[in-house]
């Protein structure tokens, strides 16, 4: 095993393959021979999980021939991406690569609400994901800072909130959260048409990537209340709580809107999962709202938190009747998780541990390791980010299966890119690359094959390839010794804090 690991790392491939047996020389004539679903390869992959078999491939490279074996189009696609990457970093070395994924969900989330990037940017990131064998793009399509998907039955969602005053999220916040119209020359924003999203779903599917839409509820939803105030809480004096960040779970208008939106979303996206958010509801307006109080009385609730559970259960049932499953951020664990829901752990790994113990499927995207809007190097040399250090080495060191977790229910891992502090596409790419290389290896490669120094060398070479393809990336050569040394979250290493923060 040790021999394989060392040699696999000599192969310039990210994610590192399961097995690589080198031979003498390099390929000088790329005559590709394809073997579909051979008996022999079926035997080789017989002990793998079905999702692994589907993506498994074997490439045999000799000086004048390249043989590719796989069982499905997806397997051939993964093999093709391996060859594309190997060719990009040098001549293809002779030998045999046998490969399949560790985890089934290998994802990236992009927040399109706080900053809006547009279709071309998303396609470009899908291309990068395909090269890295990632297979899930999760789009955060709405938040208080703007609604980004056109909905026929509620056109004011984009009509009233897709454009705002303030180029950046913080300018918008400083200007007291003002929206404007599409034709305002001082406005900022945009939204996706259904045609664009259908095309994106197809573009991703051709690359064996699933697009999971997120419609956020009941928190982070100020823009919905701005467009349709009937989804907001009502004070006993009859006044609507305008400016509330949460939807009213007491109002039937809330469910009418959410179900109509979800119906249209389900019609566009082919994903078996629909993300319904569920994080950070403030619940501030709920205790005094006449509709929330009525709902609590009817349902026999004693705590306003139970209203969130009510909303999640009702929406889950609706999504299920449409043949899909919900994913929710880990807060959904606090108010009763419906059977079949998937929990996405973001507040560290605790949500994953709890979901696992309770028998739910779960996805790991702990902010400690997988939030790529966090700093990747010392504060003093980086653009303003969120104040924890998630260096390449630190994120690479992430092992999603913590002690006590049930591997059967671990669907996968995901990196999240929240864009409050990331106003441009160049900046977004700078935060993603090379850290997304690390996520890809964590998600695909066997944990026993991971070794940082070899990975760093491969990442350095692949980063040049990415730059050549027009991606803006972090400069690994300028990375501080502290970040490179495996430095962890700064509050755990008090002695480094001054160095980390100096001159910022
Ligand atoms: C989150 O970062 N609020 C899911
Ligand atoms: Zn209410």
In tens, the pLDDT along 317-357 reads 999 999 999 999 999 999 999 999 999 999 999 999 999 99
66 Cα–ligand 1 center, Å: 45
List pLDDT tens digits, range 216-233: 999 999 999 999 999 999
Number of domains making up the chain: 2
Question: Could you tell me if the CB of 346 is within 6 A of ligand 1?
Answer: yes
**In-domain check, residue 314:** yes
416 Cα–ligand 1 center, Å: 9
11 pLDDT band, cuts 50/70/90, is confident
78 pLDDT band, cuts 50/70/90, is very high
List pLDDT tens digits, range 184-209: 999 999 999 999 999 999 999 999 99
243 Cα–ligand 2 center, Å: 13
Same domain, 81 and 225: no
**In-domain check, residue 498:** no
List pLDDT tens digits, range 31-66: 888 888 889 999 999 999 999 999 999 999 999 999
304 Cα–ligand 2 center, Å: 10
CATH of residue 196's domain is 3.20.20.80
Same domain, 93 and 128: no
Segment 4-8 long-range contacts (CB within 8 Å, at least 24 positions apart): 4/449, 5/448, 5/449, 5/451, 8/449
Question: Could you tell me if the CB of 388 is within 6 A of ligand 1?
Answer: no
346 Cα–ligand 1 center, Å: 6
Q: Helix (H, G, I), strand (E, B), or coil: what is residue 366?
A: coil
Q: Ligand 1: which of 217, 329, 422 to mutate, most ligand atoms within 8 Å of CB?
A: 329
Same domain, 210 and 237: yes
380 pLDDT band, cuts 50/70/90, is confident
For residues 110, 114, 120 and 124, what is the CA-based torsion angle, rounded to 10 degrees?
-30
Question: Could you tell me if the CB of 329 is within 6 A of ligand 1?
Answer: yes
2 pLDDT band, cuts 50/70/90, is very low
Say if CB 315 and CB 340 are below 8 A apart. Answer: no
Q: Ligand 1: which of 344, 346, 349 to mutate, most ligand atoms within 8 Å of CB?
A: 346
Residues 6+ apart with CB under 8 A from 106: 133, 134, 135, 136, 412, 413, 414, 439, 440, 443, 444
Domain end: 50, 78, 99, which one?
Answer: 99
**In-domain check, residue 504:** no
Q: Ligand 1: which of 372, 418, 422 to mutate, most ligand atoms within 8 Å of CB?
A: 418
Atom of ligand 1 nearest to the CA of 418: 2
Residue nearest to atom 3 of ligand 1 (CA): 279
Q: Which ligand approaches the C-alpha of residue 304 most closely?
A: 2
Atom of ligand 1 nearest to the CA of 416: 2
Burial 435-462 (b: 16+ CB within 10 A, else e): bbbbbbbbbbbbeebbeeebbbebbeeb
Predicted pLDDT of residue 383 = 95
**In-domain check, residue 188:** yes
CATH of residue 16's domain is 3.30.379.10
The answer to whether residue 298 scores a pLDDT higher than 80 is: yes
The answer to whether residue 503 scores a pLDDT higher than 60 is: no
Question: Could you tell me if the CB of 374 is within 6 A of ligand 1?
Answer: no
Cα–Cα distance measured from residue 92 to residue 80, given in angstroms and rounded to the nearest whole number: 13
Q: Which ligand approaches the C-alpha of residue 253 most closely?
A: 2
Cis status, amide bond into 218, omega within 30 of 0: yes
**What residue spans of 16-153 are helical by DSSP H?**
39-44, 50-55, 73-89, 119-131
Within 10 A of 400 (CB to CB), how many other CB atoms are there? 26
Say if CB 181 and CB 102 are below 8 A apart. Answer: no
Residue nearest to atom 2 of ligand 1 (CA): 346
Cα–Cα distance measured from residue 262 to residue 324, given in angstroms and rounded to the nearest whole number: 11
**In-domain check, residue 496:** no
Prediction pTM value: 0.95
Predicted pLDDT of residue 37 = 80
DSSP-assigned letter for residue 426: H
- Rounded mean pLDDT of the chain? 94
Same domain, 80 and 124: no
Same domain, 369 and 220: yes
User: What value does the mean pLDDT take over residues 355-366?
Assistant: 98
**In-domain check, residue 407:** yes
What is the 3-state secondary structure of 206-249?
A: HCCCEEEEEEEECCCCHHHHHHCHHHCCECCCCCECCCCCCCCC
Cα–Cα distance measured from residue 129 to residue 457, given in angstroms and rounded to the nearest whole number: 20
Predicted pLDDT of residue 496 = 58
Cα–Cα distances (Å) from 391 to 134, 276, 385, in that order, read: 20, 30, 13
The answer to whether residue 259 scores a pLDDT higher than 60 is: yes
Residue positions counted in the chain: 504
Predicted pLDDT of residue 10 = 61
Q: Which ligand approaches the C-alpha of residue 233 most closely?
A: 2
Same domain, 387 and 472: yes
Which of the following is catalytic: 74, 263, 280, 451? 280
Expressed as residue numbers, the domain containing 42 is: 5-99
List pLDDT tens digits, range 119-176: 999 999 999 999 999 999 999 999 999 999 999 999 999 999 999 999 999 999 999 9
The answer to whether residue 497 scores a pLDDT higher than 90 is: no
**In-domain check, residue 175:** yes
Domain end: 50, 80, 99, which one?
Answer: 99
Q: Which ligand approaches the C-alpha of residue 416 most closely?
A: 1
Question: Could you tell me if the CB of 280 is within 6 A of ligand 1?
Answer: yes
List pLDDT tens digits, range 427-477: 999 999 999 999 999 999 999 999 999 999 999 999 999 999 999 999 999
417 Cα–ligand 1 center, Å: 10
Question: Could you tell me if the CB of 386 is within 6 A of ligand 1?
Answer: no
Domain end: 99, 118, 149, which one?
Answer: 99
Atom of ligand 1 nearest to the CA of 346: 4
User: What value does the mean pLDDT take over residues 259-271?
Assistant: 98
Same domain, 85 and 59: yes
Task: Answer yes or no: 143 catalytic.
Answer: yes
The answer to whether residue 182 scores a pLDDT higher than 50 is: yes
**In-domain check, residue 499:** no
Q: What percent of the chain has pLDDT over 70?
A: 95
Task: Answer yes or no: 350 catalytic.
Answer: no
Predicted pLDDT of residue 215 = 98
Question: Could you tell me if the CB of 368 is within 6 A of ligand 1?
Answer: no
Same domain, 179 and 214: yes
User: What value does the mean pLDDT take over residues 384-395?
Assistant: 91
Within 10 A of 203 (CB to CB), how many other CB atoms are there? 16
Give the up-direction half-sphere exposure of residue 38: CA atoms within 13 A in the CB hemisphere: 13
Same domain, 73 and 220: no
Same domain, 173 and 319: yes
User: What value does the mean pLDDT take over residues 481-494?
Assistant: 69
330 Cα–ligand 1 center, Å: 9
445 Cα–ligand 2 center, Å: 47
482 pLDDT band, cuts 50/70/90, is confident
Same domain, 124 and 91: no
Predicted pLDDT of residue 499 = 58
Same domain, 166 and 270: yes
Task: Answer yes or no: 280 catalytic.
Answer: yes
Atom of ligand 1 nearest to the CA of 367: 2
């Amino acid at each position: 095993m040790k021999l394989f690991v060392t040699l696999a790392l000599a192969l310039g491939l990210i994610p590192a393959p399961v097995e690589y047996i080198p031979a003498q020389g390099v390929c000088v004539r790329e005559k590709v021979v394809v073997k579909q679903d051979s008996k022999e390869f079926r035997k080789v992959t017989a002990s793998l999980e079905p999702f692994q078999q589907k993506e498994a491939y074997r490439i045999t490279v000799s000086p004048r021939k390249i043989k590719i074996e796989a069982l499905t189009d997806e397997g051939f696609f993964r093999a093709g991406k391996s060859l594309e990457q190997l060719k990009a970093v040098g001549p293809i070395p002779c030998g045999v690569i046998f490969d399949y994924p560790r985890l089934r969900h290998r994802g990236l989330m992009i927040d399109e609400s706080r900053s809006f990037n547009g279709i071309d940017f998303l396609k470009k990131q899908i291309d990068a994901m395909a090269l890295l064998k990632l297979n899930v793009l999760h789009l955060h399509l709405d938040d208080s800072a703007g609604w980004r998907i056109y909905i026929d039955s509620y056109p004011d969602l984009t009509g009233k909130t897709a454009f705002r005053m303030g180029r950046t999220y913080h300018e918008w916040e400083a200007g007291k959260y003002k929206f404007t119209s599409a034709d305002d020359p001082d406005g900022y924003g945009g939204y996706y048409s259904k045609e664009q999203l259908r095309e994106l779903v197809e573009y991703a599917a051709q690359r064996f990537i699933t697009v999971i839409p997120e419609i956020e509820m009941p928190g982070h939803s100020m823009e919905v209340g701005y467009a349709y105030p009937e989804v907001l809480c009502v004070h006993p004096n009859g006044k609507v709580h305008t400016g509330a960040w949460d939807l009213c779970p007491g109002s039937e208008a809330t469910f009418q809107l959410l179900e109509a939106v979800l119906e249209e979303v389900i019609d566009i996206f082919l994903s078996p999962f629909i993300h319904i958010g569920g994080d950070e509801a403030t619940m501030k307006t709920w205790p005094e709202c006449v509709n929330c109080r009525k709902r609590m009385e009817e349902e026999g609730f004693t705590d306003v938190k139970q209203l969130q559970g009510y909303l999640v259960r009702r929406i889950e049932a609706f999504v299920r009747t449409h043949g899909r499953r919900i994913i929710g951020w880990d807060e959904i664990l606090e108010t009763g998780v419906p059977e079949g829901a998937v929990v996405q752990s973001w507040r560290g790994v605790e949500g994953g541990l709890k979901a696992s113990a309770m028998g739910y499927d779960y996805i790991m995207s702990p902010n400690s390791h997988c939030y790529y809007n966090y700093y990747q190097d010392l504060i003093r040399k980086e653009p303003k980010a969120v104040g924890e250090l998630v260096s390449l080495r630190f994120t690479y060191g992430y092992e999603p299966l913590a002690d006590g977790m049930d591997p059967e229910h671990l669907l996968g891992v995901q990196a999240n890119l929240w864009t409050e502090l990331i106003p441009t596409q160049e900046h977004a790419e700078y935060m993603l690359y090379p850290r997304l290389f690390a996520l890809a290896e964590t998600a695909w490669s066997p944990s026993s094959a991971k070794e940082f120094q070899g990975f760093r060398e491969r990442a350095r070479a692949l980063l040049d390839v990415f730059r050549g393809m027009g991606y803006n990336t972090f400069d690994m050569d300028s990375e501080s010794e502290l970040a490179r040394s495996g430095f962890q979250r700064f509050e755990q290493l008090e002695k480094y804090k001054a160095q980390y923060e100096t001159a910022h």
